[in-house]
Amino acid sequence: MLKRLFLWSYAAMYDRFNASAERAGLREQRRDLIAQATGATIEIGAGTGLNLAHYPPEVTRLALAEPDPYMRERLRRRVSRLGRDAEILDAAADRLPCPDASFDTAVVTFALCSVPDEQAALSEITRVLVPGGRLLFLEHVRSADPRVAAKQDKMPFPYPVIGCHPNRDTLAEIKASPLTVESVREGELPKAPAIERPMIAGTARRLGSA
Ligand SMILES: C[S@@+](CC[C@H](N)C(=O)[O-])C[C@H]1O[C@@H](n2cnc3c(N)ncnc32)[C@H](O)[C@@H]1O
């Protein structure tokens, strides 16, 4: 009951929590990443839909997977407010209700930190991508500074409650997955606490041709 109340509040406050980071440059980072989406596209862990406004006309179909009902409700409202044509899926990253090879692009932003098992999520993403399809990612990750990484490993409140792991080496996980990293840029999440600041943005491809 308490956890549900907390998750409801997290979803309700999410956009406000993020507003200063979005204003300080995160919005542009989202825009630059999402601009690369083409064709049938699936976003995993879409949250309240902060990427929605950035999908370009080259996206011919948009599916938004989000397992949290409180986030999903806000996502639904944003889809309707923006007049977007998008399917909203009640689905977790490791079990997408989609046929093999059904998307040209997959998107994850600040969601691989939250899935229970990154490899399970990445192999499911690979499954739903067409050969040659691309994953676009933007994630906060483990720090290269051991002092910061030690703090990340402590997982202070509220990270355990919201299910976020700030200590994950997500780039290593993507490299260890069936996807091939094509580009990556390291940066910082603006206006974030030190343990959430290290950030990566990039693309990875499911090799092969359609
Ligand atoms: C920090 S929020 C990021 C939301 C959004 N992607 C963004 O960029 O603002 C993490 C999101 O991942 C979702 N999530 C948690 N576990 C998940 C899972 N197993 N599969 C997919 N998404 C998950 C959460 O519900 C939440 O919406």
pLDDT given for residue 210 in this prediction:
60
**Bridge partners, 89 (sequence order):** 65
Please list every protein residue whose CB sits less than 6 Å from any atom of ligand 1.
44-47, 50, 66-68, 71, 92-93, 109-111, 114-116, 163
Predicted confidence (pLDDT) at residue 94 exceeds the cutoff of 90: yes
Query: What is the average pLDDT across 126-133?
Result: 98
Query: What is the reported pLDDT for 208?
Result: 84
Give me the mean pLDDT over the 91-105 stretch.
98
Per-residue pLDDT at 1: 77
- pLDDT surpasses 80 at 104: yes
| pLDDT, mean over the chain | 96
The helix or strand, by DSSP H or E, that contains position 182, with its residue range, turns out to be strand 180-188
CB atoms near residue 95 (< 10 Å): 12
Mean pLDDT of 122-137: 98
Q: Are 71 and 8 in contact (CB under 8 A)?
A: no
pLDDT over 70 (residue 106) = yes
Q: Residue 93 burial by CB count (10 A; 0-12/13-18/19+): exposed, middle or buried?
A: buried
Distance 74 CA to ligand 1 centre (A): 13
Amino acid at 163: G
For residue 136, what pLDDT is reported? 99
**What is the share, in percent, of the chain residues with pLDDT greater than 90?**
93
Q: Is the pLDDT of residue 105 over 90?
A: yes
Average pLDDT over residues 34-42: 98
- Which pLDDT value is given to residue 186? 97
pLDDT of residue 3: 83
The single-letter DSSP state of residue 208 is S
Query: CA dihedral in degrees (177, 151, 4, 84; nearest 10)?
Result: -50
Which residue has its alpha carbon closest to ligand 1 atom 23? 45
Residue 18 to residue 112: CA distance in whole angstroms: 17
The C-alpha angle with vertex 165 and arms to 41 and 37, in degrees rounded to 5, equals 15
Sorted by sequence, the CB contacts under 8 Å of residue 126 that are 6+ apart come out as 177, 178, 179, 206
What are the residue ranges of helices labelled H in the chain? 2-21, 27-34, 69-82, 118-128, 146-153, 159-162, 170-176
Give the 3-state secondary structure percentages of the chain, helix then strand then coil, rounded to 5.
Answer: 40, 25, 35
Question: Which of 114, 119, 122, 124 is the pocket-test mutation for ligand 1 (most atoms within 8 Å of CB)?
Answer: 114
pTM beyond 0.85:
yes
Nearest CA to ligand 1 atom 10: 111
Distance of CA 114 to the CA centre of its chain: 9
Q: Look at residues 122, 135, 128 and name the one whose alpha carbon lies nearest to residue 178.
A: 122
Q: How far apart are alpha carbons 196 and 143 in whole angstroms?
A: 9
Kindly tell me if the per-residue pLDDT of 47 is higher than 90.
yes
Sheet with 103-109: list strands edge to edge.
87-89, 59-65, 39-44, 103-109, 129-140, 198-205, 180-188
pLDDT digits (tens, 9 = 90+) for 156-209: 988 998 899 999 999 999 999 999 999 999 999 999 999 999 999 999 999 987
**Residue among 146, 153, 152 nearest 194 (CA):** 152
Atom of ligand 1 nearest to the CA of 43: 6
